[in-house]
Amino acid sequence: MKQQQAASGRGTVSHSSECDMPTAHGCFRMHVFAEAGSGREHVALVMGDLGGEPAPLCRVHSECLTGEVLGSLRCDCGSQLDDALARIAALGRGILIYLRQEGRGIGLTEKIRAYALQDQGLDTVEANERLGFDADLRNYRPAVDILAWFGLPQVRLMTNNPSKLSALRAEGVEVVNREPIIADPTAHNEAYLRTKRDRMGHLFDPLDGGED
């Protein structure tokens, strides 16, 4: 598959390095992209040939140190990441884009401050707003440019988040299918999942695992 530069004149990322990355789900090709301006380093994990039909399975996933490294049960991020890699590996073909934007874009320090406010009874949205932030500050432009670098105008996107879906489509990515990615709720994250559904419009029911 021919790899391309990000969209001319507006690309936010440049490819910096790559290697084979063996994981519990099989061997991926890991690509690192540097984001202009911020200096953030984003990652794409690729398995198989992404060209041809049907459009490849894709997950655009934002960093969550607490859920993915420390195994926190306050969110579903670690479970979603693991599930996405497993589903790509099962097909032998797909791409996971890992964006370095912790805490929906507010960073680790502010995320932990938001957690402390949630311990006092605020929900996810209320905590971010109390700290002076919007509910979600994530930017999906780097993901769009990474897809462009790989020459991928179409994807089958694993997401429950309509805002992510709209953001990619608004930037010209054709999402030919949305595939739910639903983790089992726990006693620690049930309220968090309800907030994602009821206040942020995520397209799943955290209580029974079924789509709305």
Q: How far is CA 55 from the centre of its chain?
A: 18
pLDDT of residue 204: 67
Angstrom distance (rounded) from CA 24 to CA 71: 16
Neighbours of 3 (CB within 10 A): 12
Q: Percent of the chain, pLDDT > 90?
A: 60
Write down the pLDDT at residue 3.
Answer: 46
Please determine, for residue 31, whether its predicted confidence score (pLDDT) is greater than 60. Answer: yes
Residue 132 near residue 107 (C-beta atoms within 8 A)? no
Q: Is the pLDDT confidence value at 121 over 60?
A: yes
Can you tell me whether residue 154 is helix, strand or coil?
Answer: strand
- The response to whether 102 counts as a known ligand-binding position is yes
**What DSSP letter does each residue of 123-150 carry, written as one string?**
-HHHHHHHTT--S-----HHHHHHHHHT
Does the annotation flag 62 for ligand binding?
A: yes
Task: Please tell me whether 29 is known to bind a ligand.
Answer: no
- How many of the other CB atoms lie within 10 Å of CB of 77? 19
User: Model confidence at 137, in pLDDT bands (50, 70, 90)?
Assistant: confident
For the whole prediction, is pTM greater than 0.95? no
Q: With 50 as the cut, is the pLDDT of residue 45 above it?
A: yes
Across-strand partners of 13?
35
What is the pLDDT at residue 1? 39
Tokens 């690509």 found at: 31
The answer to whether residues 151 and 2 touch, using CB atoms and an 8 Å cutoff, is: yes
Confirm or deny that 75 is annotated as ligand binding. yes
10 has binding-site annotation: no
**Most confident of the ranges 101-105, 144-148, 188-192:** 144-148
Residue 76: pLDDT band (50, 70, 90) is confident
User: Which residues are catalytically annotated?
Assistant: 136, 138
Q: Tens of pLDDT along 148-175?
A: 999 999 999 999 888 888 889 999 999 9
User: If we measure between CA atoms, which residue out of 166, 153, 155, 109 comes closest to residue 133?
Assistant: 109
Annotated ligand binding at 27? The verdict is: no
Rounded to whole angstroms, the Cα distance separating 19 from 83 reads 22
What residues pair up with 98 in beta bridges, in sequence order? 43, 61
From 1-10, 39-48, 82-91, the region with the lowest mean pLDDT: 1-10
pLDDT tens for 50-72 read 988 899 999 999 999 999 999 98
Listed ranges 2-16, 129-143, 196-210; the one with the highest mean pLDDT:
129-143
Residue type, 150: F
Is 80 annotated to bind a ligand? Reply is yes
3-state secondary structure of 11: coil
DSSP 104: G
Q: Which residue has the tokens 């996971």?
A: 96
